[in-house]
Amino acid sequence: MYSIWTQHLDEEATKDRFRMSVSAAKSILDRLKDIIEERETVINSIETGVEIYSKPGWDALLAHYNGEKAALKFVKKLIDLDQQKDTFNDRRYTAPVRPDGAV
């Protein structure tokens, strides 16, 4: 589980309880992942269709969809509990390391 899930907690026991709660919700998170993938399919079909270019501000629309896809990708990665990493690869979302080495 990514450390971002528990970076807001200080005590290890509290982190363990929170990890258990998140793990217990795996079936819900798996369904959420399916919903996100459905939305990604819709966005991809909109982006690859020629109809979008007939709309005023189509370039802003494409930028919007790219931002939405980036956010969906982040959430999908976060909720995939089957990944065996304990840190999050995106530096923008990791907690800073304190001088004593703790996160």
pLDDT at 102: 54
pLDDT tens digit sequence for 42-64: 999 998 888 889 999 999 999 99
Between 91 and 66, the higher pLDDT residue: 66
pTM: 0.72
Predicted confidence band of residue 93 (pLDDT cuts 50, 70, 90)? very low
**What is the Rg, in whole angstroms, of the alpha carbon atoms belonging to the chain?**
18
Q: Which has the minimum average pLDDT: 20-24, 62-66, 89-93?
A: 89-93
Contacts of 50 (CB under 8 A, 6+ apart): none
pLDDT, greater one: 103 or 2: 2
User: Cα 95–96–100 angle (5° rounding)?
Assistant: 120
Please provide the average confidence, as pLDDT, over all residues in the chain: 85
